[in-house]
Amino acid sequence: MENKIKNTLLVFSGKGGVGKSTIAVNLAITLAKKGLKIGLLDADIHGPNLALMLGVQDKIIFPDGESQILPVEINRNLSLVSIAYFIPSLDTPIIWRGPAKMKIIERFVKEVTWGKLDWLIIDSPPGTGDEPLSVAQLLPKAGAIIVTTPQDVSLLDSKKAINFAKKLNLKIYGLIENMSSLECPHCGKIINLFKSDSVAKIAKQYEIPFLGSIPIDPEIVISGDSGKPLAMNNNFKTTEIFLLIANKILNKK
Ligand SMILES: Nc1ncnc2c1ncn2[C@@H]1O[C@H](COP(=O)(O)OP(=O)(O)O)[C@@H](O)[C@H]1O
Ligand SMILES: [Mg+2]
């Protein structure tokens, strides 16, 4: 089957642990719910966890005879390919050498039989190093969203990530603030844990769109750990936020 990928979206950050995988998987689900064909590529060599988040870590993909890699179907509109399928055990750290890393990412992008996709969403490894660079180079028309948390250290790294995306001429769909606030489970009051408008200010300063803020939501962790990410359930407030962000991305296409 021939690949026809209309849009690509790299989800990246300057730093690990800011919620990149969480946002990649929930945005993918949100876009798939809108009837779009979505491919999700877990290219985080150092911590692939999308298969786990989607509860398909035991589905091994076999090449289809012509060294093609077939995605795992999550539902009618969503399919996944993960580096996790190529490593023997998720708790074994792998020491990748530069060329081996490049090779595996190249295979991911070129040899996967995605078929027709409206969007290919790529969860890239953290930082502005080799791997996001190689992914971006293989996808010259790639778009990007940058994820940050509101703490100063993450903000500093996100500025680097924005500059990096600009340097690579990626189309920047915008900046997402994750873990912005917390709703008190007792009284419902919103607690802003850090400066509440710092991420929006950075977006303004760098002249890129601000896509929205995702609160700290314990449901994200519970649902992510159970293999059914939050956005699969329409009853959560945070699901609505993912929908607003997805709509902003579609409007910028
Ligand atoms: N908004 C949020 N609310 C609560 N927990 C979150 C949120 N975003 C991410 N997490 C949790 O934080 C951890 C790190 O998120 P992850 O998406 O794996 O980050 P990254 O891919 O950037 O390393 C995960 O356990 C995830 O469930
Ligand atoms: Mg991750």
| pLDDT, greater one: 108 or 147 | 147
Give the containing element (helix H, strand E) for 193. Answer: none
For residue 221 and ligand 1, the question of a CB distance below 6 A is answered with: yes
Spans of all domains in the chain: 4-251
**Predicted pLDDT of residue 67:** 63
User: Best of 221, 222, 223, 245 to mutate for ligand 1, by most ligand atoms within 8 A of CB?
Assistant: 221
pLDDT band for position 207 (cuts 50, 70, 90):
very high
Span 115-122, average pLDDT: 93
- Does position 33 have pLDDT exceeding 90, yes or no? yes
| Two structure tokens written together for 66 | 């012509």
Closest CA relative to residue 121, chosen from 235, 229, 195: 229
What is the Cβ-side half-sphere exposure of residue 56, based on CA atoms within 13 angstroms?
Answer: 22
For residue 22 and ligand 1, the question of a CB distance below 6 A is answered with: yes
Distance, CA 117 to ligand 2 centroid (Å)?
22
Superfamily of domain 4-251, CATH level 4: P-loop containing nucleotide triphosphate hydrolases (3.40.50.300)
Distance, CA 210 to ligand 1 centroid (Å)?
19
Query: Count of CB atoms within 10 A of residue 47's CB?
Result: 17
Mean pLDDT of the chain: 86
% of the chain at pLDDT higher than 70: 87
Q: pLDDT tens digit string along 20-29?
A: 999 999 999 9
**Predicted pLDDT of residue 169:** 87
Span 34-41, average pLDDT: 96
Phi and psi angles of residue 192, each rounded to the nearest 5 degrees, phi first: -85, 115
- Does position 64 have pLDDT exceeding 60, yes or no? no
Distance, CA 66 to ligand 2 centroid (Å)?
30
What is the residue with the minimal CA distance to atom 14 of ligand 1?
17
Distance, CA 125 to ligand 2 centroid (Å)?
7
**Predicted pLDDT of residue 60:** 62
- Does position 141 have pLDDT exceeding 90, yes or no? no
What is the residue with the minimal CA distance to atom 26 of ligand 1?
221
Handedness of CA 42, 44, 48, 52 (dihedral sign): negative
**Predicted pLDDT of residue 87:** 64
For residue 19 and ligand 1, the question of a CB distance below 6 A is answered with: yes
**Predicted pLDDT of residue 219:** 95
